[in-house]
Amino acid sequence: MTEKPYIILTMKWGTLYAADYVNVLYNACSKYINHPFRFICMTDDPSGIVEGVEIMPIPEMDLGENRFAFGGWPKIAVFKKDLFGLEGRALFVDLDTVIVGDMTKMFELPGGVVLIREWRRFIDYFRKRKVNGMTSIFAFTLGEQTAIYDSFMENPDFAFENYRSEQRWVTDYATDMQFWNPKQVVSFKRDLLAPPLINRFIAPKIPDPETSIVVFHGVPRPIDVVPDNNKPWGKWSRWGRGPVKFVRDFWIENGGTDPT
């Protein structure tokens, strides 16, 4: 009996992320998923993407280009009742994700939508904070969380006026929301970078053996820490200099162009 493939979904629109990001992610999944899978990239520009990646259009939502600017609102479309006829358990992965360990069990975790538990900012320790999910990487069963998409499409203006990003919308409209093990999915800038000012003298930590995914949200992006030179990257609070070895190795070993 043939095993039903897992589904990997990602999206690429505009010019911020080159085809290299898709190719590197696809090659890394081939190493770190011990199960048949289909890798699907929804994009408005398939040029440069390697064979093996299934290219599909970004589902039309009539959002307008100006609404692509902040957040990942087009990702809401993966919760349609019928997404290109795809079935089964799916994992959506942002392009600025670094894979460092086995991902197979991430498809097997129960839950309506399995999200990152949003990392606390410094200011959050001083005020009442609602628990929110973060959509850099999430698992769900295709066709089962349609309220997320349907409610959005009924009144997208309400969503844009009242929600800062699509991940807050998903948090409010998902059923049976669960979170990844915090050791399995970590933030580069929250978990691996040293605190502000100290990061001038201490290099980023190496992910633990238990970690599967390192998420890059905001600045720096993975490509910023790949060049093999001594140039600074990031912001004053999330600052570093030169290559981060595990990120550079991930990028180069999975076919990314060396930006040095």
User: 3-state class of 125 per DSSP?
Assistant: helix
pLDDT in tens, 98-110: 999 999 999 989 8
- Within 33-185, residue ranges assigned H as helices are 146-154, 156-162, 166-173
Tell me the whole-structure pTM to 2 decimals. 0.92
pLDDT in tens, 215-256: 998 899 999 999 999 999 998 888 999 999 999 999 999 999
Name, in order, each residue with C-beta under 8 angstroms of 32's C-beta and a sequence gap of 6 or more.
99, 101, 102, 103, 104, 212
Q: What is the C-alpha separation between 63 and 78, in angstroms, rounded? A: 15
pLDDT in tens, 130-142: 668 889 999 999 9
Parallel, antiparallel, or unpaired for β 177-179 and 113-117? parallel
Q: Is 85 exposed, middle or buried (0-12, 13-18, 19+ CB in 10 A)?
A: exposed
User: 3-state class of 211 per DSSP?
Assistant: coil
